Structure 1
Amino acid sequence: MSSGASVDEKWLEKNILESPAVRQGLNDIAARLLPICQRLAYQEGCDDFADSLRIETGTRPGTKSPTGIKRPYARVIAGSEHASEQEHGSLRYPRHNFFRRAASQL
């Protein structure tokens, strides 16, 4: 049973998806997560991983969304050469799960 209510896509984009307050909220969460993740990496001796962490912001392209909505994002990413191996583990590196552990401390 549908209520028949619909949301104007232009209103949604203007007031929510492109809202400075929404983007600021996403950036605030990423900014809180970054130092926690860096601290965990430094404590475990992964200095190159900690030094390579940065915040990336942007807008998703909306190609996978059934409605084509382009959503903003802000995320903490690691740019070191072995970041994926250090985060998820490999034969050379133990698994650290810095991002998951940092998110649980927010």
Structure 2
Amino acid sequence: MPRRRFEPDRAGIGEVMRSAQVRAALRQVADAIEPPAKSLARSEVGSEFADAIRVEEATRPRGRPTARVIADREDGDAVEFGDTNQERRRILGRAAAVGPILPERGGG
């Protein structure tokens, strides 16, 4: 029996990516990353830095939704990646890798 090749409907993929369910799932993942990020920041950098960590949602030019955890401070990049005056902390990167953050898939 010959194998059938799956050809996705590009318009359909765009619709799915812009759906409320995808937007909610992106937000759920970002919301799961925020608390460990704040905890790491509070213990390693300070409360002011932890208080600057938040979830930001946006829509890219072609309609693709995003949700990301950011450190909304001028020194956020320096704390995350390091520079000549700041040790690399990787607060957000480490928080994103903490435990299972994706929702369990139902069904079978």
TM-score where L is the length of structure 1: 0.78
Residues 4 and 22 from structure 1, CA distance in 2 versus in 1: closer, same or farther, beyond 3 angstroms? Answer: closer
Distance apart, 1:59 and its partner CA: 1.5
Match of 1:88 among 64, 75, 81: 81
Distance apart, 1:57 and its partner CA: 0.8
- Name the counterpart of 2:19: 19
Is the counterpart of residue 5 in structure 1 residue 23 in structure 2? Answer: no
Determine the C-alpha separation between the residues in 2 that align with 1:30 and 1:13. Answer: 21
- Detail structure 1 runs of 4+ shifted over 4 Å in the superposition: none
Distance apart, 1:103 and its partner CA: 1.3
Is the counterpart of residue 79 in structure 1 residue 72 in structure 2? Answer: yes
Aligned length: 96
Are the counterparts in 1 of residues 40 and 91 from structure 2 also a CA contact under 8 Å? Answer: yes
TM-score where L is the length of structure 2: 0.76
- Name the counterpart of 2:38: 38
Determine the C-alpha separation between the residues in 1 that align with 2:58 and 2:47. Answer: 27
- Name the counterpart of 1:67: none
RMSD across aligned positions (CA) = 2.0
Residues 12 and 4 from structure 1, CA distance in 2 versus in 1: closer, same or farther, beyond 3 angstroms? Answer: closer
Structure 1 residues without counterparts, runs of 5 or longer: 63-69
- Name the counterpart of 1:66: none
The residue type equivalent to 1:20 in the other structure is: A
